[in-house]
Chains A and B, each alone.
Chain A
Amino acid sequence: SAVISQKPSRDICQRGTSLTIQCQVDSQVTMMFWYRQQPGQSLTLIATANQGSEATYESGFVIDKFPISRPNLTFSTLTVSNMSPEDSSIYLCSVLKQHEQYFGPGTRLTVT
């Protein structure tokens, strides 16, 4: 299994600002993922972050808006840039380990 922590757990931000979310895993993993989720709804993949290469973004998500860093095999960050109220959501970090996917507790972001 994998134990994942995220910081911050929640934040309220003003529109136009940026927030960086941190994801820390208790073991080395190759594949890390960032998801977005509206409360009570399913998950939408933002990007896949592999160490040593640029993140791969899904349709509808761009690097300028959601820059990702992956400096090593246990850590990643997702920045939500130039935020608008539409960015209010839960952001989840996830890792693939031994063919199974594990999730962090999420970061609940509210943009006012």
Chain B
Amino acid sequence: TQLLEQSPQFLSIQEGENLTVYCNSSSVFSSLQWYRQEPGEGPVLLVTVVTGGEVKKLKRLTFQFGDARKDSSLHITAAQPGDTGLYLCAGSNYQLIWGAGTKLIIKP
């Protein structure tokens, strides 16, 4: 059974701080996706990483795929209240394996 461990499950920080969310697995994935979900809406795809060691940036968000394609991280610089939401990672092989989610609250 493939598992994708996501941590932390909950994070509440002040505006302006930095944070990192991790997704780890013992399985190799062909790609890994990060989603953000706000209350009352479906998850919205932020990024897909495909190549081992790949780094993608989306404004203040930096996504990294591990060299062995077993893990990934999401780093947010200078977090803002608008970053508040549920962040989900999902590893892809023949199906999507979902992390447990990280509920992020940025306090003004």
Which A residues contact B (CB, under 8 angstroms)? 4, 39-45, 92, 94, 99-106, 108
Contacts and interface: CB of A to CB of B under 8 A. Distances in A.
Contacts, number: 44
A105 B45 contact: no
Given A40-B101, A42-B101, A101 B42 contact: no
Contact of A100 (B41, B48, B103): B48
A82 B42 CA distance: 25
A10 B97 CA distance: 27
B24 to A, nearest CB: 15
A41 to B, nearest CB: 6
Interface in B39-61: 39-45, 48
Contacts of B42: 4, 92, 94, 103-106
Interface residues of B, number: 22
B43 A103 contact: yes
The main secondary structure of chain A at its interface with chain B is strand
B41 A102 contact: no
A102 B95 CA distance: 14
Interface of B: 6, 31, 33, 35, 39-45, 48, 86, 88, 90, 95-96, 98-101, 103
B86 A102 contact: no
15 contacts: A4-B42, A39-B39, A40-B101, A42-B88, A42-B101, A43-B43, A43-B98, A45-B95, A92-B42, A101-B33, A101-B45, A101-B90, A103-B42, A105-B42, A106-B42
Contact of B41 (A43, A45, A105): A105
Contacts of A94: 42
